A = this chain, B = another copy of it.
């Protein structure tokens, strides 16, 4: 341990792929609070300690101590993958320290690393569930054991450390030895097994890059290529698609099975494809991304329709009420899209990152950072009351955020993502084009060709659609004499900012001219002192489901800028149930007057009487209503009512409620 604060590298970033595009370092953008800054503050102030406390309380940390002191046994607490939560928290701490330089975060990190490192075997193996007295032997349950999965998260945490403080670090050393062990065990000539839960692939590929160690990349490649040949032993009643062992990665057309597994695998495959210049493999993931986004992705960006296997459904199988949309799948989707964005520059990947960050990742944590959604359904049919405060909860049923879960993968995944949010905000292309992929108020300071570019971004986005970018400083060069070089500022006009049927986006250039801007990238040549203003139309808008989505037929959703909105029962007039509401889509959704709902919308709706239940009959009948319904008379107050919608990410903060994103029109 060191007593003097470490120097952190502001350019540290999780994905440091070869190629023309370089993502922003977590220290290169200082946020002024705002949407993401506040989440980041809560993450640092509350969530880290919350996770630490729970893992200590449940013995997940002590599992490492028991390996170290040789007292393991059959009664180990936690699931077989609980080590990975510790590693994800380490990764979160590493990014937080890298972004802020806060020595207390570094101290917490180091104390944790000491306990982890003490559990590492002499040959580099590190796992508290397998391979020690009283425990199953190493790699005896590749399908369900999650050993390599845990190692993958260990490596990702180490990558955060390499990037932020350099390779001379205790966790990096632990990870290097663990990776070497994996290469020995599973490399050419060793076992040809794979892990039931992908993650080792992305961990090895990232560490290979960070340490310039091609053996790790090669091992990642081997794991990617071995998959899809049905070698994993079946898990319960689930087929090989559950863990993507049904079709080789480079042959698959769509994501299927367990969503987090599919997406971690895809992230690793992109890393491998980029590092090995395997365009065929990269194209395969791009193809899978496109088909899955077009047919198997929710309005929120959420992925995974099914509870049964936490998995993707068939095409168009997107039920709002039983949407699984696991928080971790949202995190993993951002990982994949960001990698494809760096690899291709295609704006669609940035659009999906935004959609997923605002509506999945930001939805999971409660405002105080001490409770989380595991699943993120788009409809809550009954008020959720199944969460025990201050207790371990089952993972999936929605309605109320829970402090901790039996399978508690989501809190630490949110923590590491929020801690490194800046890394997904911008990138630099060929050292000359600075691209803003996400918008938040703050100061950006990044290396470009010839020197440093300093941008000041002012915006209340997503509440307000105006984003003002001032070039505070740009490199000075030989041409023109005495002035700064021209740099290209590339701004993202989100897909939702369409010109059709309403005000579209505009860009006001340094010349003061306001120009319409179509969705996609818009380039502006700027020099020091220039100001560019992007105007995005964040008025509420209706979004209609594709008619092939059976479960959303006859409904409409409301979005506002990047935010998906929701109608929550606590906002309904007394005596009105959510099932009674029918939105009138002929009346545009509009901005609410009151401050409480300022980021939401108001819609006009009618309140329909609920049909009577036909006693003892299934709820189907000849009259478009249950059989024997009396057809109650129209209530006196059946005039249209105005109803407020709130941002989906903030629902369930006001007690148990029902909620819907897709509100019926018929």
Query: Which residue numbers of A lie inside 8 Å of B, CB to CB?
Result: 237-239, 289-290, 293-295, 297-299, 301, 306-308, 313-322, 346, 348, 351-352, 355, 379, 381-382, 386, 394-396, 406-407, 495, 498, 500-501, 541-551, 553-555, 557, 579, 608, 610-611, 613-627, 664, 666
**Given contacts A553-B555, A618-B297, is CB(A548)–CB(B406) below 8 Å?**
no
Minimum distance in angstroms from A402 CB to a CB of chain B = 13
**Identity of the chain B residue whose Cβ is nearest the Cβ of A394 in the assembled complex:** B237
Minimum distance in angstroms from A564 CB to a CB of chain B = 9
Question: Which residues of B sit under 8 angstroms from A295, Cβ to Cβ?
Answer: 613, 619
Contact A237 B548 (CB under 8 A): no
Contact A544 B320 (CB under 8 A): no
Contact B618 A239 (CB under 8 A): no
Question: Which residues of B sit under 8 angstroms from A617, Cβ to Cβ?
Answer: 293-294, 348, 351, 495
Minimum distance in angstroms from A346 CB to a CB of chain B = 8
Contact B546 A611 (CB under 8 A): yes
**Given contacts A554-B553, A614-B294, A619-B549, is CB(A624)–CB(B394) below 8 Å?**
no
**Identity of the chain B residue whose Cβ is nearest the Cβ of A615 in the assembled complex:** B290
Contact B547 A616 (CB under 8 A): no
**Alpha-carbon separation in the docked complex, A306 to B319 (Å):** 12
Question: Which residues of B sit under 8 angstroms from A545, Cβ to Cβ?
Answer: 619-620
In the assembled complex, 17 residue pairs joining A and B whose CB atoms fall closer than 8 Å, in A order, are A237-B395, A239-B394, A293-B616, A294-B617, A295-B619, A299-B618, A301-B618, A308-B396, A346-B616, A546-B611, A546-B619, A547-B664, A548-B579, A548-B619, A553-B555, A554-B554, A557-B620
Minimum distance in angstroms from A437 CB to a CB of chain B = 15
With A290-B615, A293-B617 known, 6 other A-B pairs at CB within 8 A are A290-B616, A294-B618, A297-B619, A307-B307, A542-B622, A543-B622
Contact A317 B666 (CB under 8 A): no
Contact A498 B547 (CB under 8 A): no
The interface centre, meaning the residue of A318, A394, A617 with most chain B CB atoms within 10 A of its CB, is A617
**Identity of the chain B residue whose Cβ is nearest the Cβ of A542 in the assembled complex:** B622
Contact B298 A618 (CB under 8 A): yes
**Alpha-carbon separation in the docked complex, A611 to B394 (Å):** 40
Contact A547 B613 (CB under 8 A): no
**Given contacts A293-B616, A543-B621, is CB(A381)–CB(B316) below 8 Å?**
yes
Minimum distance in angstroms from A429 CB to a CB of chain B = 20
**Identity of the chain B residue whose Cβ is nearest the Cβ of A557 in the assembled complex:** B620
**Alpha-carbon separation in the docked complex, A608 to B548 (Å):** 11
Contact B394 A544 (CB under 8 A): no
Minimum distance in angstroms from A467 CB to a CB of chain B = 22
**Given contacts A239-B394, A544-B624, A621-B544, is CB(A551)–CB(B319) below 8 Å?**
yes
Contact A315 B626 (CB under 8 A): no
Contact B321 A547 (CB under 8 A): no
**Identity of the chain B residue whose Cβ is nearest the Cβ of A286 in the assembled complex:** B616
Question: Which residues of B sit under 8 angstroms from A299, Cβ to Cβ?
Answer: 618, 620
**Alpha-carbon separation in the docked complex, A155 to B613 (Å):** 39
**Alpha-carbon separation in the docked complex, A317 to B501 (Å):** 36
**Identity of the chain B residue whose Cβ is nearest the Cβ of A608 in the assembled complex:** B547
Contact B620 A546 (CB under 8 A): yes
Minimum distance in angstroms from A77 CB to a CB of chain B = 15
Minimum distance in angstroms from A304 CB to a CB of chain B = 13
Contact A627 B495 (CB under 8 A): yes
From B495, B548, B555, contact of A610 by CB (8 A): B548
Contact B316 A322 (CB under 8 A): no
Question: Which residues of B sit under 8 angstroms from A579, Cβ to Cβ?
Answer: 316, 547-548
**Given contacts A322-B319, A546-B619, is CB(A553)–CB(B501) below 8 Å?**
no
**Alpha-carbon separation in the docked complex, A544 to B618 (Å):** 11
Minimum distance in angstroms from A26 CB to a CB of chain B = 27
Contact A314 B381 (CB under 8 A): yes
**Identity of the chain B residue whose Cβ is nearest the Cβ of A564 in the assembled complex:** B620
**Alpha-carbon separation in the docked complex, A545 to B664 (Å):** 14
**Alpha-carbon separation in the docked complex, A664 to B555 (Å):** 13
Contact B381 A317 (CB under 8 A): yes
**Alpha-carbon separation in the docked complex, A500 to B631 (Å):** 14
Contact B320 A381 (CB under 8 A): no
**Alpha-carbon separation in the docked complex, A317 to B321 (Å):** 8
**Identity of the chain B residue whose Cβ is nearest the Cβ of A298 in the assembled complex:** B618
**Alpha-carbon separation in the docked complex, A322 to B543 (Å):** 25
Question: Which residues of B sit under 8 angstroms from A308, Cβ to Cβ?
Answer: 306-308, 396
